[in-house]
Amino acid sequence: MIAKKAMLIDITLCVGCNACQVACKEENGLSDKEEQILSPTAYTVLHEFNGTYVRRMCQHCVDPTCVSVCPVGAFTKTAAGPVLYDENKCIGCRYCMQACPFQVPRYEWDNNYPRVQKCKFCASRLEKGLQPACAEACPTGATKFGDRDDLIREAHERIKAEPEKYVNKVYGLEEVGGTSILYISSVPFEELGFKTNLSKIPLPALTWNALSKIPTVVAVGGVFLYGVWWITNRRTEVQQLEAKLREMDDRSNGHETSNS
């Protein structure tokens, strides 16, 4: 069994040096312009909240919604953890952008052959046994790469060792079923722009639960509609029969009158 990889981002250790973005851009051949907002040329960015720096990037969900909604299989989840995108399969529907609970994928609107762009979790580096470029470049240890289960244990250990320093929560542990990018912080996550009202259930599971009811709904609806049709048709038949009986009675009464 392949251990799922992840990154633990300790927000208390980030100094805002932006080495992560520089390394990411170099690794992926992107524009070297510093950017503060996720874009087709910025797979990771730093947001500042009153002196606290927060990295934003694709969360590489354990059960990604982008994979479940893509009608052509352009998105896939690898066994090791990365959520990857195949531009050769993409039809530009952008369902992935609408479905992502973290609003991460970006579309190349200015490109004649537009693609969806986002962090690749340096999947090619992982295949070579290397860590993601951003984690390797981080000078303070704010970003740590490793097996997801090991990083979760370490996150809890850090929180337990310094409860006065950290918020008692590992963000990404349960959100939408869990993500491969985990965070610990000294500042409440809702104050740092994190979505804290997300379901703990993977969104694809919620979709499947709804879709799984469709056969039952269709079956019950079909029976109901058939019942309506049968009753309506039966009423018509009864009305036609009653009309014929009345007509026969009228003819019979008319015949008796003429005889008398």
The whole-number pLDDT of residue 3 equals 73
How far apart CA 35 and CA 148 sit, in angstroms, is 28
Strands 106-107 and 45-49: unpaired
The whole-number pLDDT of residue 254 equals 59
- Tokens describing residue 225: 């509609």
The whole-number pLDDT of residue 211 equals 44
- The amino acid that residue 144 corresponds to is K
The whole-number pLDDT of residue 203 equals 82
> Tens digit of pLDDT per residue, the chain (260 long)?
567 999 999 999 999 999 999 999 999 999 999 999 999 999 999 999 999 999 999 999 999 999 999 999 999 999 999 999 999 999 999 999 999 999 999 999 999 999 999 999 999 999 999 999 999 999 999 999 999 999 999 999 999 999 999 999 999 999 999 999 999 999 999 999 999 999 999 888 765 454 444 454 444 455 555 455 545 555 555 566 566 656 666 665 555 555 55
Say which residue the tokens 């690794």 belong to: 27
The whole-number pLDDT of residue 35 equals 97
Which residues have C-beta within 8 Å of that of residue 102, sequence separation ≥ 6?
58, 59, 195
Q: Residue 251 class from Cβ within 10 Å (0-12 exposed, 13-18 middle, 19+ buried)?
A: exposed
Which letter, b or e, does each residue of 127-146 get, where b requires 16 or more Cβ atoms within 10 Å of its Cβ? eeeebbbbbbbbeeebbbbe
The topology (CATH level 3) of 5-202 is Alpha-Beta Plaits (3.30.70)
Helix-helix angle 203-212:214-259, to 10 degrees: 20
- Report how far Cα 58 is from the mean position of its chain's Cα atoms: 11
